[in-house]
Structure 1
Amino acid sequence: MREIEQTLSSVEVAEMVGKQHKDLMRDIKRYTKQMWNAIEECGGERNFAPTDFFRESTYRTEQNKELPCYRITKKGCEFIAHKLTGTKGTVFTARYINRFHEMETELSTGANQELLLYLKDKLERQEAVLADIKSQTKVRGYLQTITQNTVQSEYKKEIGMRVEASMDIEYLRAVYTFAKHYPNKSVVV
């Protein structure tokens, strides 16, 4: 089954942490810049990438205006939570954990429904194929029976003619032998 990574919009996360969205965007840009700088300082070696945490994206406002945002992974939420202190950090941690659990439940339920529909469809197709095979098997059985009966009938006719021909030959031999031994007797053939 396909893996779907769960993310939250930076708009939603800004609400959770009680920040203006533009301020959270600024912070995330700073975090990603610091991560890229750290990667460059290590000569390109890395155990992480900023995209493991934050992914650039867009969203539409109520006025249908497209604006930039980030899709924040669970790791990204944990990263932000570690930057917060006190009650704000605690509340955000509880909120994002609950939100990710909600998404996992939604995904699981949706995936289960999708799987059930897929299996139902597959079962129906297999039952249709099985019914077709049964139908073809009956037809083949009928054809086989007809063919066997026809062959047997033709065989019997052929054997019967041979038997009759054989009997005719035997009869003629007997008549010939009789006529040969009794030339003065008349024989009706």
Structure 2
Amino acid sequence: MNLTLVKKDGQHWVGSRQVAEMVDKEHSNLCRDIRGYLEVLNHPDSILNAADFFKESNYADKQKQKRACYLISRKGCDFIGNKMTGEKGTLFTAAYVSTFHDMDDRLRFQAAKQVDIATKKALSMAAAIQKYMGVKPGIAQATCLGMMEAEYGVDLEPVKKLIPAAAHDTGFLNPTEVGKRLSMNAAKTNLMLAGIGLQEKIEGDWRLTDAGKPYGEEMPFTRNGHSGYQIRWNESVVDLLVACLAPTSAEN
């Protein structure tokens, strides 16, 4: 007999009626045994979580009456299997081990398929963004991979690590961090960057000018319902600002 799994609360379970039938035991007696197991698992001195083994449930019988039953996890099956001896116990153990093993195989296959689909979709989007919006390849790929992680619920970090390193100086300093190098606050730093023509304010956001593009990257963001751009500056902009400040410092 094959066991059928049901998914509830993010976990896979076997119904107690199936187990009772497989081990040739009255369902009411199996439920009685499970209640006894729960008393032990729920004891104040127990370090185990009973909900990891068994979960109360119900079903409708032939007369449409609601009857109590239990959902049994992989751990719960281990628990029951270890209490049993003889041929029936062996057959039950083999059945639940095979059932959960097959489920693991299916989940691994599905996960790999989702990663493949998400990666291809991300790289396709990144290519379009790079072509039509002029975004650097690495930034477009990292951003789109992050989007697909959220959409498909998969981990694409190993794929992100394969993104080639940028062939140019990549921006990572925000205005506050640039300002710290120059002993000034972010507001003054932004005004100075604008003053030398590296950025300008458009619709409330600082945007790179053509002159500023060699010194930074525009990174899209969404926060508190607002979407816009944040500039991340290269180390080279610090040297440029230091050079611009030098005459002023000399005069002072």
Q: What CA deviation, in whole Å up to 9, does each residue of 1:78-136 have, x standing for no partner?
A: 1101221211111111111111101111211222222222222222221221121359x
- Secondary structure of 2:70's partner? strand
- Secondary structure of 1:18's partner? coil
What displacement does 1:10 show? 1.9
Alignment of 1:54-93 (within 5 A): 54-59=54-59, 67-93=67-93
Pick the aligned partner of 1:31 from 31, 37, 43: 37
Q: Say yes or no: does 1:121 pair with 2:121.
A: yes
2:106 and 2:66 mapped to 1: Cα distance? 27
Calculate percent identity across the aligned residue pairs.
36
Aligned length: 127
If each structure's strand is expressed as a fraction of its own residues, which one has the higher value? 2
Contact 1:53 1:75 in 2 (8 A): yes
Give the AA of the match of 2:26.
Q
Give the AA of the match of 2:114.
E
Q: What CA deviation, in whole Å up to 9, does each residue of 1:41-74 have, x standing for no partner?
A: x3xxx32121121122345679987654322121
Q: Any stretches of 5+ residues in structure 2 without a counterpart?
A: 1-9, 136-209, 211-252
Give the AA of the match of 1:55.
K
Question: TM-score scaled to structure 1, two decimals?
Answer: 0.56
Contact 1:16 1:95 in 2 (8 A): no
Change (3 A) 1:128 1:86: same
Give the AA of the match of 1:104.
D
Alignment of 1:164-175 (within 5 A): none
Counterpart of 1:14? 20
Q: Any stretches of 5+ residues in structure 1 without a counterpart?
A: 136-143, 145-189
Contact 1:53 1:74 in 2 (8 A): yes
1:28 and 1:102 mapped to 2: Cα distance? 25
2:28 and 2:131 mapped to 1: Cα distance? 63
Counterpart of 1:98? 98
Give the AA of the match of 1:17.
V
Change (3 A) 1:18 1:121: farther
Q: Say yes or no: does 1:109 pair with 2:115.
A: no
With a CA cutoff of 8 Å and minimum separation of 6, indicate the structure with the bigger relative contact order: 1
Counterpart of 1:48? 48
- Name the larger-Rg structure: 1
Change (3 A) 1:101 1:63: farther
Give the AA of the match of 1:54.
F
Counterpart of 2:235? none
- Secondary structure of 2:71's partner? strand
Q: What CA deviation, in whole Å up to 9, does each residue of 1:137-182 have, x standing for no partner?
A: xxxxxxx9xxxxxxxxxxxxxxxxxxxxxxxxxxxxxxxxxxxxxx
If each structure's helix is expressed as a fraction of its own residues, which one has the higher value? 1
Counterpart of 2:191? none
What displacement does 1:76 show? 0.7
Question: TM-score scaled to structure 2, two decimals?
Answer: 0.43
